[in-house]
A and B are shown apart, each in its own frame.
Chain A
C-alpha cells in the first residue's frame, strides 16, 4: 500500500527566504507525481506535474525534483512571499487511472 509523507507538517519563514518542502513515498513504481497548493477551505491548485521519467520541473519561482528510486520529491520555492502562504500537498499516481495518493501536506506561512 502506497504511503506518502510530507515533512515538515508546518513551516514559518520570513519573506524572501528560499525554502524546501519534502515529500517521500513508499512504493517507487509511480507514473507521476503532482504538487498542489490549497488555500484554507478551498480546492487544490496544480503547481507542477513530474512524469516518472523526468527529474525535475520548473514554473516561475517553483522547482520540483523527483528521485523515484529513493522515493523522494522536493518542492523548492525561491524568494518566498506572503502570498505563498498555503498548504502544499504532494500526490503520487501509480497504475492506470487517476487515483492519486496524497500526503497530509505542509502548512506554510510566510511572514512580512
Chain B
C-alpha cells in the first residue's frame, strides 16, 4: 500500500508566476485536503476535495485553486505568486470525511523570489 505522494519536492518561482503542485492520495482514500505551512508555524487549511468537488475552504484567496481527478489524485494551483506564498505545501488524504485519520505526504517546498 503506497502512502500519499507529492511532486515536485522543491521548486523555485518568481513573483507573479503560476505554480501547480500534485498529490496522489493513499490507496482507497477519496478525500484530499491541502495545507500551507510557513516556517515555524503549524499547517493552515487551504481546501478539501471530495468526489472531485471542493467542499471546504480555509481563509485563502481565489488565486489558490485546485482539482481532484477520478482516481482521487489532486492538484493545487496558485496564480500570481507572492513572496508570502513561500512555504511547505502539504497534501493529506483520508478514507472518509470528518472522522477518519488523515495521512500526509512529504510536502512540496515552494520558494518565491
A residues whose Cβ falls under 8 Å from a Cβ of B:
4, 31-32, 34, 36, 41-46, 49, 51, 89, 91, 93, 95-105
Contacts and interface: CB of A to CB of B under 8 A. Distances in A.
B29 to A, nearest CB: 10
A93 B48 CA distance: 13
Interface residues of B, number: 31
A95 B90 CA distance: 21
A51 B48 CA distance: 21
Given A4-B42, A97-B48, A104-B41, 5 more contacts: A43-B104, A46-B104, A89-B42, A99-B56, A100-B35
B51 to A, nearest CB: 13
B66 to A, nearest CB: 13
Contact of B99 (A31, A43, A100): A31
B58 interface: yes
B113 to A, nearest CB: 19
Chain A interface, DSSP helix/strand/loop, else mixed: strand
Interface of B: 4, 6, 31, 33, 35, 40-45, 48, 50, 55-56, 58, 88, 90, 92, 94, 97-99, 101-107, 109
* Most chain A C-beta atoms within 10 Å of own C-beta, residue among B42, B58, B98: B42
A66 B92 CA distance: 23
A106 to B, nearest CB: 11
Contacts of A100: 35, 43, 45, 102
